[in-house]
Structure 1
C-alpha cells in the first residue's frame, strides 16, 4: 500500500485576499507548484473540506486539508557523487557539505548537485519532496545540513524549523573590526531592483540573526552567527547590512578592501579567496522519531582555517 500524506493547516490572517493556490504554495512549500496544482484539481487538497478552484480568494482562518497518496516527487536522476556523512539512521541523514556543491538542480546546474547524490545514496528519497532536503545552504557555503529519509521525519523537521527550535550556528569571517556582538532583527525580501539578490526591506519576512565575536584581527573579525530564522542569504545580508560583509562574498561583499599595511601573502589570499567565508559549524534538533535532542559539529574547512591563520600572522608582524 502506498504511503499517504495527511496534513491540516490553518490559513493565517496575513494571507487575506490571496488566491487559494498561492496560499497553498506558501503553506505547503515543500511541494512543487505543479504537484499542488494537481492536488487542487483532483480535490485531495481542500479548503474547509470542500474542493475549490485555484483562484478562489481566502480570508484567513480557513482549514487546509491535504490527503493524498505519496508519489514520486523528484524527476532528477541519481548520481554517484561522494559527500561526507556525519550521521545516518533509518530516518535522518546529516551531511557536511563541501563549498562549491549546489544543493538543488536549477538553471545552469541540472546535475552534479547534492540532491542527485542523495538520490543515489537513498533511492527511496525520490518519493519525498525535494528528495528529503529540509533546508539548504548556498553553493559556496560549507557545513552541516539535515536530510529526512521518510515523510514523517521530513514533516516533523519542517515543523521544527517553522517553530524555530532547530539550532544552527555558523562560523564567518567578516571585513571590519567589530567592537562587540549583537542581534540583527531586520526583515529580508527580494531586492527591489535586482531579483537575484536579497535585501533588508520593510516588505520582507521576519529575519533575526544573533552574532558574537570570536577573535578580532587588524581589519577583520571571526564571528559566530546563530540563526533564529532561516531566510535566503540571511547571514550574508545581515552582516552586510551591519557594514561587516563576509570576506569573499561576490554578491554582498561591496567594494573590495585591504587592511592598511597588510602583508603581501595576506593581500594575495584576500584577493583570491574563492567564496564567502561562511561555514555551518553546529546543528541541533529533536530527532523526529526518537524525540531525543541530537547535536552535530563540523570543524571549519581548510580554506577558512588558512584565512584565519594568515590574519593571526598579520597581527604578529
Structure 2
C-alpha cells in the first residue's frame, strides 16, 4: 500500500506539472507571467463587450429544460466551467453556464430549467427566446475552471450538469480517470443524460444516475469515500447538495479537494445600515451620494448611469464588479478572491470604509 500511494503521488504530480505548463502557456501571451482575469462589468472595459447573438436552435432537452444555440461572429474562446451573461428582452441579466464544445467556433450553447417560483429570468427564456431571436451576450467568464488533477469526481444535481458536461468531455479527451454522480427528480427531467451515458461507455460504472422518484437520494458519503487520493471533486447543483458534499468530504493529507459553483450566495449578504459616503465616477466625471440604506449600485444607477449592468444584487454573480482607484472598501461578498479585492469590489453589496471611493466608471 505505501508503494502504491507513492506511485500515485509521483504520477499525479508529473501529470499536474505537464498540464499546468500547457495551461499557462495557452492562457497567457506573457508566460511565464500569470494571466490576469479582467473585470467584465463597466463600460468600455476589455472583456465587457456586449455582442448580439442569434438563437439558431432551440431544443427541449428534458422536462422543463430548453437548450439554446446562440450564434455570432468572432466569439471569444472559453474553457469548461465558463458562463455568459445573457441580457433578456426585458433587460434582466442572468448567468448561464456554457455546455457546448469549446472547440466549436461561432456559437455558444446554454441550457436553462424553468423555475416556477424564481425571479422570472428562466420563464422569460422559455417563453420569449425562440429561433431567430436576437439577444445580447457578455462574457464569457470563468469562476469554475477545471483545474489540473490526476483523477476527477464530478457530482451534479439537475441543471447543475451544465458546467460539468464540458469538463467530462475534456477529462475523457485527455485520458484522465473520472467518475460522475448525477442526481435529479426523475430521469425525464435530467438533461444530457443520453450523451453522458454514451460518453461513459458501455459496461463501465463511471456514471451513477440517481433519480429520486426511483432510487431516493444519492449516497454521497459512499461516493466521496471511494474518491482516489488527491482527486479533485467538482460539484454543482442545489445548495443542499453542495453543502452536504462539503460536510461529507473526507479529511486527511491525501483527501480530495472540493470545487463548487453556486447559483446563489452561500449565506445572506450583510445588510446595509452603514454610514453614508460618496463615490466619484472618474471617467464619467460625476460624484454620487450613497445613503446608509442604499447600495452603491442603486445610487449610481439612480444618479448617474441608469444602464449600468447588474444581476443578482446579492454579491455572488460578479456582473457588477468594478475597479477601485482610491478609497478603502468594506467587502461584503462571497465571490472575489483576495487578489481581486485589492483593486475591485462588487457594488451591489460592498461599501466604503470611509467617506469616499473612486471608481473606474
Shorter-chain TM-score range:
under 0.3
Q: TM-score, normalised by structure 1?
A: 0.24
Normalising to structure 2: TM-score of the pair? Answer: 0.22
